[in-house]
Structure 1
């Protein structure tokens, strides 16, 4: 068994959001997906992102509002998950003014024929 702890891996800030990508941990290369934690500051917003991978995210701490392709933000609370399809533009808002939002995300490329 291996354990991975938030904040113990390399931090790569992206537009004011702290990103901890799992590829900085030992032994992660063998996984069939890539993963990261990210923290959006209290009351903050992530930069807009769009990528070809599917992304499954779980809110670890806090209350998020996820905006996809310019639509209305959808509330996602602690313990809830959201799945972003390939190519969806998205922004993650931290609804709490007093603490960071912490999200775990796993992402991978979809294989043809898997719907």
Structure 2
């Protein structure tokens, strides 16, 4: 068994958001996906992002509001998850003014065979 601890990896900030990608941890290269934690400051928002990978995210701490393709943000509470499809432009808002929002995300490329 291996353990991975938030904040122990290299912080690669994106704007005001702290990003801890798993590629620096031992043994992660053998996984069929990539992963990261990110921390959005109190009352802050993530930079807009859009990528070809699918992204499954779990809110570890705080309350998120996830805006996709400019639509009204969807509330996602601690312990809940959201899945972003390939190409969806997204922004994550931290609804709490007194503590950071922490999210764990796993992301991967969808195989052609998965398209049905």
Same fold (TM over 0.5): yes
Match of residue 54 from structure 2? 54
| Partner SS for 1:113 | helix
The root-mean-square deviation of aligned C-alpha atoms, in Å, is 0.5
* Counterpart residue number, 2:39: 39
- State the alpha-carbon separation in 1 of the partners of residues 91 and 44 from structure 2: 11
Name the residue aligned to 2:111: 111
* TM-score, with length taken from structure 1: 0.99
Cα distance in 1, alignment partners of residues 94 and 77 from structure 2: 10
Structure-1 residue corresponding to 2:101: 101
Measure, in 1, the Cα distance between the counterparts of 2:102 and 2:112: 32
CA distance in 2, matches of 1:31, 1:23: 10
Match of 1:64 in 2: 64
- Structure 2, unmatched stretches of 5+, are none
Aligned mates of 1:33, 1:86 — CA distance in 2:
14
TM-score for the superposition, normalised by structure 2: 0.98
Following the alignment from structure 2 to structure 1, what is the Cα–Cα distance between the partners of residues 86 and 15?
A: 21
